[in-house]
Structure 1
């Protein structure tokens, strides 16, 4: 007998037996099917696309055993009722932003973002190493959900206006669509604010129901056609420096998940958080150039407007904290983290960023 041939054949046979003996991953694990309504229009391939991306990654990492079926606004649940549907157990999970529901608990605004807040990098540090996610778990527990950070648009724009904003006086009486506590801040300066779901913003702006609206940034705003009904495009979006979007999971459904599925879901959401931010960073510059080429007038908010808004936001936080101890406690921790990070990045990154911006402009 050829000894070498016997060894090779035996090794191959052993390997084959091992393959045959390995159980199929999908059949070895429980098969779970969840429904996931979201708050963002299906036409937006980055916002809604991240919801799809997370579902795809969950399926891939469990060999199809854990499936999440995603839905757009209104297909199962209205855009601004996702948290209620998840908390009540009508669906297993939902993709939405906490600040849409701040009427239930003001701390839900901090979960997403509040005016003059954290950058994208700072926000992730706060969530993962600064204690943010642990603090938010307490807020979500009262709503019957577990919140998992699952998306971030990065810095947003200041929105679309039919007329120029040259001073604080120009804000008075302005009807403006905005979400979160940015609306409360602008309300202090005379703006009449409205929270309108994404699919309904364009018709409201077109019909003159509102005078202006903010959404996300150039790529999405171009898709939604806001440049066709408003001429002036302002920056920065000081109320949404880095809004975090969450996968909200019914608390009981989350508890019932096998440990491996919990790990998979959290990993997929982490991927989604960074996938969204990176994709917007790639897509927004070209979209902004197209908007300007089509006639959009790009404007920066005047310094006195930004200063007035900053002061009004600090007044707002003090007022809310005076009547809501939990908001005050979370905000104080968040603000201490923000101040320290701002000083650190001012030295470490902003100095170089400002130099490069000025130098590039001279080329």
Structure 2
């Protein structure tokens, strides 16, 4: 799964510490020689799944990875991944177990259970709007499910399917791809991961143990990860960027810089689409009420957490910032454009469809997005028909 358009964090592009410094700091303060290995199932052997599994393996905590791969199975099974990262350096990663069929880890006598009781399951496939993982790899009451996926409203199906298990939403700010099977390329100096439990917990609540565990594992590998109480604010902020540039670039067939240079009206289109996305985000988060009034700070009905209000009152939550960021970064080929160029079905529902449905439910007008949505659906229809 390529994620070439995820550099949307409102924070500085580089953190206080380098990955090496974070690893050393974490190692010196969090090492326990008696810790047992953490069993992790990575569902999806794309760029995101491979990169973050590798980063975790760089830490001091022992981990055992099972990874489910599809088109790259033969390469990963035989040679693992070769990783080229401008931030973390070059590396090799070989999961302890690579499988093609998820039932390879099912108990022979009881296929509803796994031969391993996994501590964590990473969902690293494209968001489909439904539960993609098989039930047998999730041990009720134990396994935490971490969604390394794009889009909004992706968590509810998992919580409904696995009510006894924590569901953790991960918002990634990264630029990585897998140009050929087994080769992961990570460019740029961004390595921010925001993590939060679904549904959001009040800020005063203690961090959930599973949320703390995945945060510790990522930090231990040198990643700039943080557990936060208001994850949906960041998920929507990222959706503003992705919903704008994935959509416009996929429809036009141009990268971010080429699109902006294509016409005097290109910036106007990007601004209009960004404003629509911001409007539905603020309504969905409760930042603005149906009457257009700003919510008050606090917890409870009609109130919004201070951190969420600050984030959505900042420059990062403006159409101008969305366009300026695209101009400031190197030319980006968003994941939907990458898929379109390969004739593959795009994440239309994650980046566009679910936003349209949310806007309709909340009474937010989205004329630009609604006009582009059926065009993207038609493109997906064409790609699908070409494979028949």
TM-score normalized with structure 1 length:
0.28
Structure scoring higher RCO (CA < 8 A, sep ≥ 6) equals: 1
**Greater radius of gyration (CA):** 1
Q: With structure 2 as the length reference, what TM-score do the two structures score?
A: 0.27
